[in-house]
Amino acid sequence: MATITEEPAATAGVEAGEARSHWSRAWARFKANRLAFVSLIFCGLLIVTALAAPWIAPYHFSETDPDARLAPLGTEGHLLGTDLLGRDIFSRLIYGLRTALFVAFGAELASLVVAILIGLSAGYIGGRVDQGLMGITDVMYAFPSYLFAIVLVTVMGRSLWAVMLAIGISSWVTQARLVRAQVLTVKEREYVEAARSMGASGTTISLRYILPNAIGPLLVTTSFAIPAAIGAEAGLALLGLGVQPPTPSWGSMISEGTSYILAAPHLLFLPAALFALTLLAFTWVGDGIRDAFDTSGEDR
């Protein structure tokens, strides 16, 4: 979702400055941004780690070791120590990563689908439909999104899917507005007019002719929404409203860590550090994508 796949044929002449498509030029600019490129590789590693968690983690996330409670760093068998119940921190961090990424990517996919549906219909059909749908987004705008997510989680329970949906449903508004604005700017262009005159249906026009124009800006907002969703997941867990224990979440690990800050500071330090690194990497990728698509100058 947040990555751009390279098309070998299209990137061939970038160095000579004769890139063929908008996308290949954006990708060339992205690659030239070293921080963004390294971050992208790091994010890729994180995603692979999350997918392969059961094979990488030495223990299951709920497996307790009664002989090694609150073990410090470097304990044999538990390199990063254990928590109060004797659960391996390294394994829980990796499973926490899995939770965070699953929730974040799922939530953004859900919110993207809702945003595109609502934004497209509001912008394309216009009139009453537009007013109605924008009325809904106005109400959603008035509802602080974190608070809405909190209410939704209480309704849907605290399963992985529920948390994912709650974050997704509470974060589509900005993107829906973006899609609508994009639709309005291209709706009256000649090529859309041409498609309409050839008898293309409303669905075809919006999906094939209008939507592709919105993909660039949507990619940018989505790439920033991913770290925000990771933060929201951990935030809910911090409040005790996130994914149901014993499924690990960095938020609940941080919350537990604050209770043993003097006895076992690594319980707080490790999840916080990994969390911060992950968020920064995803944000740098987002920065890179934004700069790659922004051709207006240096100042944004």
Partner 1 sequence: MSFMTYLGKRVMRMVLSLTAVSMITFTLLQLAPGNFADIQRISAGAAQFGGSGTEDMVHAFASRYGDDIPAWRQYLIFMKGAVTWDFGPSYKYPTQDVQDIIAQGFPISATIALIAVALSLLIAIPIGVYAAVRQNSPADHGTMFLITLGTALPNYLTGVILVLFFTLTLGVLPSSGWAGPHYMIMPVLALVLGPTAVLARYVRSSMLETLREEYVVAALAKGGPRSTVIMRHALRNSLIPIVTVLGPLLASLMTGTVFVEALFRIPGLGLYFAQAAASRDMPLLMGTALFFALILMTMNLIVDLVYGYLDPRIRAAGGVSRWRRSQKSPLRQPA
Binding interface with partner 1 (CB under 8 A): 135, 138-139, 141-144, 146-147, 150-155, 157, 181, 224, 227, 231, 234-235, 238-241, 254-255, 257-258, 261-262, 265, 268-269, 272, 275-276, 279-280, 282-284, 287, 296-300
Residue closer to partner 1 by CB (options 120, 270) is: 270
Least CB distance to partner 1 at residue 16 (A): 22
Least distance to partner 1 from the beta carbon of 77, Å?
A: 26
Minimum CB distance to partner 1, residue 71 (Å)? 19
Which is closer to partner 1, CB of 57 or CB of 179?
A: 179
Contact 56, 94 (CB under 8 A): yes
Q: Which is nearer to partner 1, 106 or 257 (CB)?
A: 257
Structure tokens at 56: 């990488």
The CB-of-300 to partner 1 minimum distance in angstroms stands at: 6
Spacing of C-alpha 55 from chain mean position? 24
**Burial class of residue 122, CB neighbours in 10 A (0-12, 13-18, 19+):** buried
Closest to partner 1 by CB, 57 vs 164, is: 164
> Which helix (H) or strand (E) covers residue 57, if one does?
none
Residue 57 or 234: the one with the smaller Cβ distance to partner 1 is 234
Within 13 A of 11's CA, how many CA atoms are on the CB side?
12
User: How crowded is residue 233: how many other Cβ atoms within 10 Å of its Cβ?
Assistant: 29
CB of 222 to partner 1, least distance (A): 15
What whole-number distance in Å separates Cα of residue 241 and Cα of residue 234? 10
Run of H or E including 204:
helix 202-204
What are the tokens at 283? 């944000």
